[in-house]
Chains A and B, each alone.
Chain A
Amino acid sequence: MKTTIADLSVGEKGVIQDISFDNVPLKLLEMGCLPGKEVELMQIAPLQDPLYIRVNGSHLAIRKETAKLIQITKSENLCEILKS
């Protein structure tokens, strides 16, 4: 199983590795959600969906189904290094 944004817990960060471009709306990319960018899970809505993320300076809410299409590597303790 590959790790996606949907696997983060609140407060955790990761770096976007790959996006299932065919299924993810162009709008999400246009709002700054791109490979190589750091993503942080800010909050999960009370019914476990949607997810509130911070990516590339944007604060966005996306549905879990979309979050599952965005692969990441978790950055447990590497947040400091990845901040650029």
Chain B
Amino acid sequence: MRNTEVIKVALIGNPNTGKSSIFNQLTGLNQKVSNYPGVTVEKKSGTTRLTNKVTATISDLPGTYSINPSSLDENIVLQALLNPDNEYPDVVVVVADVENLKRNLFLFSQIKDLELPAILVVNMADQMKRKGISLDIEQLKVELNSDVLLVSARKNIGIEDLRKSILNYKQLDTSTIENISDRIDADFFSRVRQSFKDMTLYKSWLLITQHHNFSNISENLQKRINSFRVDTGQLKKMQNRETILRYQYINNILKKTYTVDTSKATGLRFKLDKVLTHRIFGYVIFASILLLIFQSIFDWASVPMDFIDATFAKLSELTKNELRPGPLTNLIAEGIIPGIGGIIIFIPQIAILFFLISILEETGYMSRVVFLMDKIMRRFGMSGKSVIPLISGTACAIPAIMAARNISGWKERLVTILVTPFTTCSARLPVYAIIIALVIPNQRILGIFSFQGLTLMGLYLLGFFAAISSGYLLNHTLKVKGKSFFVIEMPNYKIPSFKNILFNVLEKTKAFVFGAGKIILTISIILWFLASNGPATFSNASEIVKKEYIDQGLSESEFNQKIASYKLEHSYIGIAGKYIEPAIKPLGYDWKIGIALLTSFAAREVFVGTLATIYSVESDNDTATIKERMANEINQDTGEKQFDLPVGMSLLIFYAFAMQCMSTLAIVKRETNSWKWPLLQLFGMTALAYLASLLTFTLLK
């Protein structure tokens, strides 16, 4: 291969400027999500070929209004531009929206002061005429001493020019904008300049004001920083003054280059806001949209989910029949294939949910939901922004918890992360479905509402109320430092870009498959191993069984059944199931359900598969469905049906509350950077589940 030059590009900009559109136009499908070294935050990057010899790697940084971060998401931008741990970009592309140019130039002025080569991309240029905006690009280039481009990402106009500008980044000017620092406090900054000769002035200023947001600051550097942090009140005043001065600078430039004919401004936003944030219609519309989302998760997803389920079952059977029998075949057919199937099965629901959520975000409607819900959510220790994680949680808690990153208050974010696993995720659904079908009579009340449907709805509501009431409780008990504040932009309404939505769905699905998928697959394999191995009594199963039944004249198949059943009971997992039996007996469960509870830690829906395994090895009748097998299961002690109403309800309640998902615990550990919070979830939620199930079983028995 020829030696190619690689240009590192950082793409930054305010939210809602069409930054993702530009990223998608530049990189197409050459995108990947990876982790920043040392920081547990994802980095989205892509590559694009500029010429035969030059490629660009583009990092799509989260949307931000300033490089002074106010949330974890925004902190990434600061890290990417300043942290010596990360690779510095060669050139920064700042995306601005033509309508909000003033506020966008604020961020641009900060980037300029970092003395990095910067290109200003004014996006949505196609809207200028309609909005009555005129912009003197040539004059703006002179004023900013930078490259400025007019682009319309959605219509793919100006992207080629952007590639050319990136290619010629070495010609960009890297001087700071007019001297703001001296006007803030000349004396202070001359001392800073003296002390931090090894870096740009603005970087040292950011280190002084934002030092807590940096990792790996050397002792020497920290000492120098501290010497300027004597009066933090004064620093805050200086930051405020800096902001005012930057806006003055920008206003002066825009006066010469930018005009808006206000008579052309359309009142669409105003009119839509009147309806969408109306005190009654606002909530009615939001509730209808929620209903539509849930409806589509169930209806649209059920077809591909059934298909995936059937395909993997067939694949597993095929492997068993076609490959030479042996441990490796068993591992593939009983461990790996069902494990992968258990991951793939969630994709339809996750994809559909994020498809719909992306539409709501792209159109600008989500900000209105945040606005409508903030006051309500605050009572439960959360913020209006927590609505998005809570909705996403109905598909899967993992992307939902990651979506909490843009909540700026730590306490509000933490409460959101802690309560999200209570929402009824799709992994609970197969468990609910089978148990409801077993124990709730298939009858209708008043001819319309089925008992089964009402039970399912009740479980969803139960999850939701568990989430908000634990939020309320945490709000009053958690002693967490950190002020929360709430400032959100209400962006203009837009027609969503299909490409952006598609890419977002792909990204979220990939994050799930590769994040949670690894854990689910690993645990599936471990559980398979534990179920197919055991101590001496396990390996000698056939002799032991032979001795016991030698006089009973069993047929060969009956005999094999006895062996398989004996094996499972004496496998490691069977031993574990028996071991916990005394603890779960008060809830109405036997050791077989105990096994299923343990395997549910891979993912809850494994419950169904595990019971299928347990009962299929016990029964020779292959045509019986899992449901029938479960219905015929007899409790050894009472001689009655194992899955009666009290046990069924007790199990439903247990699954509604218990924290049984290793992947979620891993994500919570990663997002909170501490074991304290996932452990709190594990023990708190499981204890609640135990007590609630105990109560249910005792009352119904």
Contacts and interface: CB of A to CB of B under 8 A. Distances in A.
Contact of B244 (A34, A62, A66): A34
Interface stretch (B63-71, B154-162, B591-599): B63-71
Given A52-B371, A60-B488, A60-B489, A43 B277 contact: yes
Given A22-B236, A45-B375, A57-B102, A29 B244 contact: yes
A31 B370 CA distance: 18
B282 interface: yes
A42 interface: yes
Interface in A1-41: 21-22, 25-32, 34-35
A68 to B, nearest CB: 13
B374 A63 contact: yes
A79 interface: no
A28 B487 CA distance: 7
A45 B247 contact: no
B135 interface: no
B239 A48 contact: no
Contacts of B70: 25-27
B68 A26 contact: yes
A66 B274 CA distance: 23
B485 A27 contact: yes
Contacts of B273: 42-43, 52
Interface residues of B, number: 43
A60 B103 CA distance: 12
Given A52-B371, A57-B100, A34 B485 contact: no
A32 B101 CA distance: 11
A32 B270 CA distance: 20
Contact of B487 (A22, A45, A66): A66
A52 B106 contact: no
B375 A59 contact: no
Nearest to A37: B247
Nearest to A32: B103
Interface string A48-64: 11101000111111110
A69 B65 CA distance: 21
Interface in B99-155: 100, 102-103, 106
Contacts of B244: 29, 34-35
A78 interface: no
Contacts of B102: 32, 56-57
Interface string B257-287: 0000000000001100110011110110000
B237 interface: yes
A81 interface: no
Contacts of B66: 26-27, 30
Q: From DSSP, what is the main secondary structure of chain B's interface residues?
A: helix
Nearest to B250: A32
Contacts of A30: 65-66, 68, 106, 243
Contacts of B41: none
B486 interface: yes
Contacts of B535: none
A65 to B, nearest CB: 9
Contacts of A45: 277, 371-372, 374-375
A66 B280 CA distance: 25
A3 B403 CA distance: 38
B320 to A, nearest CB: 58
A26 B371 CA distance: 20
Interface in B71-94: none
B374 A25 contact: no
A21 B233 CA distance: 10
Contacts of A62: 486-487
B376 interface: yes
Contacts of A22: 233, 236
B240 interface: yes
Contacts of B282: 46
B490 interface: yes
B253 to A, nearest CB: 14
Nearest to B273: A43
Given A26-B240, A46-B282, A61 B375 contact: no
B367 interface: yes
B491 interface: yes
Nearest to B254: A57
A26 B66 CA distance: 10
Given A58-B100, A58-B103, A50 B371 contact: yes
A34 B243 contact: yes
B375 A47 contact: yes
B240 A29 contact: yes
Nearest to A48: B375
Contact of A61 (B236, B269, B274, B490): B490
Contacts of B384: 50
Contacts of A31: 65, 103, 487, 489
Contacts of A48: 375
Contacts of A27: 65-66, 68, 70, 408, 485, 487
24 contacts: A21-B236, A22-B236, A25-B70, A25-B487, A26-B68, A26-B236, A27-B65, A27-B485, A31-B103, A31-B489, A42-B270, A45-B371, A45-B374, A46-B278, A46-B279, A46-B283, A46-B372, A49-B374, A57-B103, A59-B490, A59-B491, A61-B371, A61-B489, A62-B486
Shortest Cβ-Cβ A-B pairs, 5 listed: A46-B279, A47-B375, A59-B490, A30-B66, A25-B485
